[in-house]
Structure 1
Amino acid sequence: MITETPMIRQYNEIKKDHKDALLFFRMGDFYELFFEDAKIASKILGITLTSRSKGENAVPMAGIPHHASESYTRKLIKAGHKVAICEQLQDPGEAKGIVDRGVIRIITPGTVTEDALLDGKNNNYLLALWKDKEIFGLSWIDLSTGKFEIEDIREERLFDELARLNPSEIVLPDDITESNATFTQRIRTECNAMITPLPAWEFSESTGYQALLEHFGTHSLEGFGCQDAGVALGAAGAILHYLKETQKTSLKHIAKIQKYETNNRVIMDRATQQSLELTQTIRNKNREGSLLGALDQTKTPMGARLLKDWVISPLKNHDEIKYRQLGVREFTEKPELRREIIAILHDIYDIERIAAKVSCGRANARDLISLQQSLSKLPELKEKLDFFITAIISDREKEIDPLDELRTLIGMAISLDSPHSLKEGGIIKEGYDAALDELRYISKNGKQWIAHFQAEEIARTNINSLKVGYNKVFGYYIEITNTHRENIPPAYIRKQTLKNAERYITPELKEYETKVLTAEERAKDLEYDLFIQLRDKAGTFTKQLQGISEAIAQIDVLSTLAKIAVENRYAMPEITDSLELNINDGCHPVLTMELDRERFVPNDINLDGVQDKTMVITGPNMAGKSTYIRQTALLVIMAQMGSFIPAKNATIGTVDRIFARVGASDELSKGQSTFMVEMNETANILNNATERSLIILDEVGRGTSTFDGISIAWAITEYIYQNIGARTLFATHYHELTELSLLFAGIKNFNVAVKEWGEEIIFLRKIVAGGTDKSYGIHVARLAGIPKQIIQRARSILNNLEAATLDINGKPKFAPLKTDHVKKPRQRKLFASKEDLVIDEIKKLSLDEIAPADALNKLAELKKRLYEDE
């Protein structure tokens, strides 16, 4: 058994209150970790694991320099750990025994504020959720900016919202984490976030409401529009409690709470966000290659974060969209001013996060320098914005206050070459404080003072051999040989007797000794106090700084979208309240930047939402079907976030939701196959889409047998057209679906044009009217590098199948056209006659207006009767 030393006893007492965190225990210039914490940290950080004491009393131990703790903390946080910072609370020189220590802060993934631990382009959200019946109350905060929001949602939208917010830490009631391990694990897996349980009582609506009133110092939440927010108030209260428990500092920069309004935002579920690659690519999870990566040329971190919010949450109200559009347009019309403003924005730091650090008491001198330099750019920025008349820009200009008082104060006080540490000195400029200047003078000019004092004493006593010296034992002294003993002034006080001399001190010399020996430390202490006073003063401007940040962010995004529009020849789409979706010469916003606009083949889309609602798009792989349908969704998103789009012109009736069912993968952790994932996502569309939605579907039904797949795809397309009426683009290899156009006037066939050259094929990337008339799977297989022997064998098999299923005119033997006068492009079918009987039955079911679920049951019975009996 380990014998506890007083220090280890103190460590254990502190550690028992922070069992879920790695304890950074301050000892001099190092943070030490002991026992299991040391073992964990040594592996993650790659530092040496040593031990304190030996034998039975050996205690595993690992340490890191306190001045470099941020880099180590970042690795531990990324590895999924919390870090409790335990500091020395008293001067070791004043301690009679063990130095007092205490935890001053707990750093968690959702509560970091240090630049080294954050991504400037992304918000870092701490999220809490609380469930009451079928309603989930969500609250999320970015502590590094003070952004604090709440929302009540139904259970089916929970994971879509979590995907949009992408929190790094989620706070849950302990009764959920203890009783519903499956739900908790799903949240942890899908969000890749740390889960932190808190007592369930902290989530109650009444407790949360009172916590919010206490924090904001108000009598109600009406001023924030949150008085009747509901369950989410409990989640918000839990967040505040958690922050106070972990941060142990001022949270004044959390100055408001907002209700997230979904009624003016386009809703996109998790599958849609991923399929459209809005913020990261599917394959490698990179920002580059996503829509956000293509659009983000912002100059400030605030602007980058706002642009991301616009991309994942486009507007729905067409008047508000036009309001943004006008701002973008005016920036396009004033190119010289736009370039000058962008150049100014380039020199502005992250004011929003600096303001939060100032308010929390964590800003250092360099943060204040960055703030001062940013504020110094604002007068010029305001001057440039004076030339704009668009309301959205003019309104932002009014919020940009250079804060001359704060800017001047920081400029007078803080040295430009200040160190990171606040207690090493070198922060405050000379001339700012007289007492500090005197201490610095004493510290730096001690030899000159001693020489001057010695000269004065020689002149006063007429003792030419008088010398002033110093040693560590006696300090400063005056040494006089015994031959001049009679001339020693009465005020001299004997300090030490030597063989041939005496050493003396005077009150003046002793006073100076006290000054010079402590001047450097006293100067550092005074500098620290002066800096804290200045930082506290800056903290009183937090609200103004947050307003400035919001204004700069919006100017940054508007000017960026204008710059991209001009450089890429984008057009301003007309936004209406209709169901129209007309885009002429539209291009993919990401691919056109990667491939060059001149090499990209533009395409049109024309749906009036009334007569023409659905496009069935056929064609071979690699031809561009998926690119076309994704492109359409991305252009709608860009249009509704207020951006111009890569097109000749466009008229877009606003959409309320966008659904994308593109590609599929197993979710084995949930016991779901590829086809089950596909059907779940499709069911979500069918249950939640409205007439005003935009739906893009890619190869729905291919995860099962051919007959099942065709039946499901047919029934889904038919149901969307008849029962939902949403604007829909369906890319498919099931050429049988082209026959839907014979039944419904508003379903139109389109295909990707292909040019054949002998055995070669050329994908023209052009969407043209009509169904495709041929499959090119074997050609694509050859292009992919499938061995020649397999390609030749596949062609033989194909020829045999076609000979058995097609007549001498190349038409299916058992599926003649319903009427000779209907001239529709036909696709050669590779199926036997019974396949065509299935299609005929589907048509009958459609015409009889049987519900999709009943239709699928009947088709299953039909399949069994037609095929299994054989």
Structure 2
Amino acid sequence: MSYTPMIQQYLAIKAQYQDAFLFFRLGDFYELFFDDALKASKELEIALTSRNGGKDEYIPMCGVPYHAVKQYIKVLIDKGYKIAICEQMEDPKLAKGMVKREVIQMITPGTIMEDDSLQPKRNNYLAAISSFPDESFALAFSDLTTGEVKVTVVNGWDGVLQELDANDVRELVAASDFPQDSRMILNEQMNLTLSEEDETKIPEALQHLSAGIDQDKLLTALGRLLSYLTTTQKRSLDHLQQASVYHVQEYMMIDPHSRRNLELTQTNRGKKTYGSLLWLLDDVKTAMGGRRLKQWIEKPLLDQDKITTRLDAVDALKTHLLERETLRDALNGVYDLERLVGRVSFGNVNPREVVQLKRSLDQIPAIKKTLAAIPAPALQDYAQEMDPCESVRALIEQAIVDDPPFTTSDGGMIRAGYDETLDRYRDASKNGKRWIAELEAREREETGIKSLKIGYNRVFGYYIEVSRPNLKLIPEGRYERRQTLSNAERFITPELKEKERVILEAEEKRVGLEFQLFGDVRLKIKNEAARLQQLARLVSALDVLQSFASVSDANNYIRPDFSNDRTVAIKDSRHPVIEKVMKNGFFVANDIQMDQSCDMLLITGPNMGGKSTYMRQAALTAIMAQSGCFVPADSACLPIYDQIFTRIGAADDLVSGQSTFMVEMDEAKYALTHATQNSLILLDEIGRGTSTYDGIAIAQAIVEYIHDHIAAKTFFSTHYHELTFLDKKLKRLKNVHVGAMEENGNVVFLHKVLKGQADKSYGIHVAKLAGLPDPLIARADAILQELEAEKQTAPAEAREAVVQATAATEVDEPAQLAFFNEPEGTDMKKPAKKEQKVLRELEKIDLMTMTPMDAMNKLYNLQRALKH
């Protein structure tokens, strides 16, 4: 098939960008052809047409207007596609033959620079990966919008997934031979856009970004990343910062499942920020502070000195309320410095954004002065390190007007007095227009035509317009006829044309010179990018610290302490998010106590009683503390956890063909194979996805394995009351339960965590609360009574087998009934001393003046006194 020259040009360019939509510029439209057109018309919901491609063949075509292209690009980027922008490189009117075209930029999910496609408080990371025979991987990350570049090495595929998830990566660059099964996991489970780049040598122009890195693994991943950016962006990347090396061992490791289970940055239901830990702690005043806050939450620190430095700053800001409010007011005037510097360096900044940069710098002296007034070394360091970049601020103030236009096309952004030549052009233009106005007045006076006017259009330039009834008043030979209208005539004079030439020449030169001067200002700012980026880092971190202080002050959080012996001692711990969203504003606080003699809490109690809440608040408190924030409690002493693992909730993974139970086992396996003695493990209802005895066996084996082989601090929530005997077998395990009581046939949840085991699960009561039909509830109650009766009347041999197989709670019954039985070798008329003491205590109790909670606690203590 012989295509037209233009279609042949299109196909030649498209061959180089097979994995992207090619936006092919034709006049005022970007056109797409062939398969691109078929797919884009569906994704963008635009009309599909056709075009004669040569001879009699019509090829599919669709297009979008060039002035509205951003909104269409955003749609495609959000869906994970890539776009190659192919522009006309010469004026079609001046071109000889086919207009020259070439791709000027690739836009991908990891390289998007337009604000419409970015979330202000989230980084937009592009990552590159290199794998090695020792099963290690090097990862390089870049946020093109801020210029940030960082690299690390991780061990194992799980480490790769964890880092990609923690950094919210949108696009991953890998070698062309990257394994297909790994591609599927990244694409289907993490929704990543995958790109290929085989070049791993760092481009010569960007060699300086690798200064100080001597690991070949890191250099390989960094080279792949920078080569991809150079190939796709086709413009200066001077704003990229020197690559920083970070080690995953410096931060608390939180795997993707745990991150979602704990709802750190978004909720599981609805995928909204509202209701997450990020939402709770977000009282930042800047977009870059929002991004830094997210980073700190997702990567809590392990270095106690660094944590203490953050806590010292938060403590000082929390205490100095007036200074904190002054600081917050100043931060309110700071725009997104990081992304503004990125846009300046990338060349797509507009005049108004340059003024935003200046207004941001205006606030720095006030911020430094406020920090200097707070006697805290941590904050004094911030004040000293902040460079106000006065030369940049002064340059913008001198060069750019206070209220410039959005675009540079029509000028109007350079301040008067900044450039002498520009001022002359402006004066010529201004005086010329004044001369036109004076000419109009003079002509009206001399001709007597009051309606005479002088106008302008781009086709004819300046003209004198006289209405048809007044034509007879024009002196012979005074004007030269130029254009005839239905109700008027237009004229020119040699003098008017000369002045027009002067005015238009001055106007054209003014606009061109303004554009040039703006470019010079942008270049001078770009040369100071490193200073501005360092300032942005300090301001964003300070913004997070004041946010921590403000949230801590508003919610009565306290400063945590850290233990060296793995002790957990939290007095009146609260779940920070639930407490905040509760309508009645009352949250039942609970103590969390795990000293050196206790590594595991076995938690029993009814559904909806608060077991999962209790577990989650323990984890969130640790994350907040190690991020540098105060915590929701009356006092808190915590170990520094190296990792947090959670298995909470039930969910099928239908895409991977995994049942709820299989997902549960996978997440449990991940915790058991990666946890250390310094980790925190939360396991909720392990074994519920299979038969009762299978579930009990698996749950007990997991508890024993963690206790005997890992010794991590562990919260194990279960409905298997048969497991509560383990506190007698495992010396570092203790039973606790969430309190509940029956009242008029209904269950009342006390949400209080008490020592010992729960007496029952109240499952039928919860079903009743859920609104199941009354006949169904009655039938379930009858069945339960039958089952319990069968259990009590089972033959001794069978009962003993059940006791041994499931570790049933009946083993505790003799001890519980000892009060009512005659102790061996004692006289019934003369109870043992222990029983006598309990009887005396029982006599003193005034039940009518006690709350249900106090009564339960008293009964528990009396029972314990009998047992020990």
**TM-score normalised by L of structure 2:** 0.84
* Paired position in structure 2 for 1:865: none
* Paired position in structure 1 for 2:621: 635
CA contact 1:707–1:835 (8 Å) conserved in 2: no
CA contact 1:616–1:747 (8 Å) conserved in 2: yes
Q: Secondary structure at the match of 1:836?
A: helix
- Alignment partner of 1:654 is 2:640: yes
Q: Secondary structure at the match of 2:601?
A: strand
Which residues of 2 match residues 258-269 of structure 1 at below 5 A? 258-269=244-255
After TM superposition, give the deviation of residue 2 of structure 1 in Å: 6.7
- Alignment partner of 1:573 is 2:540: no
Query: How far apart are the structure 2 equivalents of 1:676 and 1:839?
Result: 22
After TM superposition, give the deviation of residue 562 of structure 1 in Å: 0.6
Amino acid at match of 1:279: T
**TM-score normalised by L of structure 1:** 0.84
- Alignment partner of 1:99 is 2:78: no
* Paired position in structure 2 for 1:278: 264
- Alignment partner of 1:412 is 2:412: no
Query: How far apart are the structure 1 equivalents of 2:324 and 2:97?
Result: 65
- Alignment partner of 1:311 is 2:297: yes
After TM superposition, give the deviation of residue 523 of structure 1 in Å: 2.8
Q: Secondary structure at the match of 2:294?
A: helix
Identify if the C-alpha distance between structure 1 residues 30 and 445 changes in structure 2 by more than 3 Å, giving closer, same or farther. farther
Amino acid at match of 2:561: E
Which residues of 2 match residues 454-603 of structure 1 at below 5 A? 512-595=499-582, 598-603=585-590
Query: How far apart are the structure 1 equivalents of 2:313 and 2:459?
Result: 74
* Paired position in structure 1 for 2:805: 838
* Paired position in structure 1 for 2:76: 76
User: Which residue of 241, 247, 250 maps to 2:227?
Assistant: 241
Which residues of 2 match residues 144-183 of structure 1 at below 5 A? 144-155=145-156, 156-176=158-178, 180-183=179-182
When structure 1 is superposed on structure 2, of 832-841 and 643-652 the one drifting more is 832-841
Identify if the C-alpha distance between structure 1 residues 590 and 469 changes in structure 2 by more than 3 Å, giving closer, same or farther. closer
Q: How many residues get paired?
A: 785
* Paired position in structure 2 for 1:198: 197
Percent of paired sites with the same residue: 42
Query: How far apart are the structure 2 equivalents of 1:77 and 1:123?
Result: 15
CA contact 2:723–2:806 (8 Å) conserved in 1: no
* Paired position in structure 1 for 2:332: 346
- Alignment partner of 1:215 is 2:214: no
> How big is the alpha-carbon RMSD for the aligned residues of Structure 1 and Structure 2?
3.4
After TM superposition, give the deviation of residue 711 of structure 1 in Å: 0.9
Query: How far apart are the structure 1 equivalents of 2:385 and 2:761?
Result: 60
1:328-367, Cα deviation, whole Å (9 max, x unpaired):
0000110011111112112211000110111111211121
When structure 1 is superposed on structure 2, of 759-768 and 681-690 the one drifting more is 681-690
Amino acid at match of 2:592: I
CA contact 2:725–2:807 (8 Å) conserved in 1: no
* Paired position in structure 1 for 2:127: 127
CA contact 2:680–2:712 (8 Å) conserved in 1: yes
Query: How far apart are the structure 1 equivalents of 2:706 and 2:102?
Result: 62
After TM superposition, give the deviation of residue 518 of structure 1 in Å: 4.1
* Paired position in structure 2 for 1:114: 114
When structure 1 is superposed on structure 2, of 748-757 and 682-691 the one drifting more is 682-691
CA contact 1:617–1:749 (8 Å) conserved in 2: yes
- Alignment partner of 1:626 is 2:612: yes
* Paired position in structure 2 for 1:702: 688
* Paired position in structure 2 for 1:368: 354
When structure 1 is superposed on structure 2, of 722-731 and 29-38 the one drifting more is 29-38
Identify if the C-alpha distance between structure 1 residues 7 and 104 changes in structure 2 by more than 3 Å, giving closer, same or farther. same
CA contact 1:216–1:256 (8 Å) conserved in 2: no
Which residues of 2 match residues 249-260 of structure 1 at below 5 A? 249-260=235-246
CA contact 1:129–1:232 (8 Å) conserved in 2: no
Amino acid at match of 2:110: G
Q: Secondary structure at the match of 2:335?
A: coil
Q: Secondary structure at the match of 1:599?
A: coil
Q: Secondary structure at the match of 1:342?
A: helix
Amino acid at match of 1:217: H
CA contact 2:722–2:809 (8 Å) conserved in 1: no
CA contact 1:578–1:654 (8 Å) conserved in 2: no
Which residues of 2 match residues 647-796 of structure 1 at below 5 A? 647-796=633-782
* Paired position in structure 2 for 1:463: none
Identify if the C-alpha distance between structure 1 residues 92 and 716 changes in structure 2 by more than 3 Å, giving closer, same or farther. same
* Paired position in structure 2 for 1:384: 370
User: Which residue of 804, 812, 831 maps to 2:790?
Assistant: 804
Query: How far apart are the structure 1 equivalents of 2:543 and 2:463?
Result: 66
Amino acid at match of 1:234: T
Identify if the C-alpha distance between structure 1 residues 617 and 136 changes in structure 2 by more than 3 Å, giving closer, same or farther. same
Amino acid at match of 1:116: D
After TM superposition, give the deviation of residue 169 of structure 1 in Å: 0.5
Structure 2's unaligned 5+ residue stretches are: 444-452, 465-474, 483-490, 812-868
Query: How far apart are the structure 2 equivalents of 1:473 and 1:321?
Result: 69
Query: How far apart are the structure 2 equivalents of 1:690 and 1:597?
Result: 40
When structure 1 is superposed on structure 2, of 769-778 and 88-97 the one drifting more is 88-97
Amino acid at match of 2:805: V
After TM superposition, give the deviation of residue 290 of structure 1 in Å: 1.1
Q: Secondary structure at the match of 2:274?
A: coil
Q: Secondary structure at the match of 1:85?
A: strand
* Paired position in structure 2 for 1:136: 137
Amino acid at match of 1:720: I
CA contact 1:139–1:148 (8 Å) conserved in 2: yes
CA contact 2:607–2:761 (8 Å) conserved in 1: no
CA contact 1:216–1:255 (8 Å) conserved in 2: no
* Paired position in structure 1 for 2:449: none
Query: How far apart are the structure 1 equivalents of 2:357 and 2:384?
Result: 19
Identify if the C-alpha distance between structure 1 residues 522 and 83 changes in structure 2 by more than 3 Å, giving closer, same or farther. farther
Identify if the C-alpha distance between structure 1 residues 473 and 536 changes in structure 2 by more than 3 Å, giving closer, same or farther. closer
Q: Secondary structure at the match of 1:398?
A: helix
Identify if the C-alpha distance between structure 1 residues 195 and 451 changes in structure 2 by more than 3 Å, giving closer, same or farther. closer
After TM superposition, give the deviation of residue 663 of structure 1 in Å: 1.9
Q: Secondary structure at the match of 2:177?
A: helix
CA contact 1:752–1:767 (8 Å) conserved in 2: yes
CA contact 1:279–1:287 (8 Å) conserved in 2: yes
After TM superposition, give the deviation of residue 67 of structure 1 in Å: 2.9
Query: How far apart are the structure 2 equivalents of 1:472 and 1:153?
Result: 64
1:190-229, Cα deviation, whole Å (9 max, x unpaired):
2111111223xx24xxx3xx54x751438x732xxx322x
After TM superposition, give the deviation of residue 510 of structure 1 in Å: 7.2
Query: How far apart are the structure 2 equivalents of 1:625 and 1:425?
Result: 65
Identify if the C-alpha distance between structure 1 residues 793 and 432 changes in structure 2 by more than 3 Å, giving closer, same or farther. same
Query: How far apart are the structure 1 equivalents of 2:463 and 2:137?
Result: 77
Structure 1's unaligned 5+ residue stretches are: 458-466, 479-483, 489-493, 497-502, 816-830, 845-870
Q: Secondary structure at the match of 1:127?
A: strand
Q: Secondary structure at the match of 1:590?
A: helix
1:591-610, Cα deviation, whole Å (9 max, x unpaired):
011016851000001111x2
* Paired position in structure 1 for 2:817: none
Identify if the C-alpha distance between structure 1 residues 710 and 435 changes in structure 2 by more than 3 Å, giving closer, same or farther. same
1:300-323, Cα deviation, whole Å (9 max, x unpaired):
111111111111111112221111
After TM superposition, give the deviation of residue 718 of structure 1 in Å: 1.2
Query: How far apart are the structure 1 equivalents of 2:168 and 2:410?
Result: 39
CA contact 1:2–1:56 (8 Å) conserved in 2: no
After TM superposition, give the deviation of residue 775 of structure 1 in Å: 2.2
Amino acid at match of 2:777: I
CA contact 2:31–2:61 (8 Å) conserved in 1: yes
Identify if the C-alpha distance between structure 1 residues 654 and 438 changes in structure 2 by more than 3 Å, giving closer, same or farther. same
* Paired position in structure 1 for 2:90: 90
Query: How far apart are the structure 2 equivalents of 1:814 and 1:525?
Result: 101
After TM superposition, give the deviation of residue 524 of structure 1 in Å: 2.5
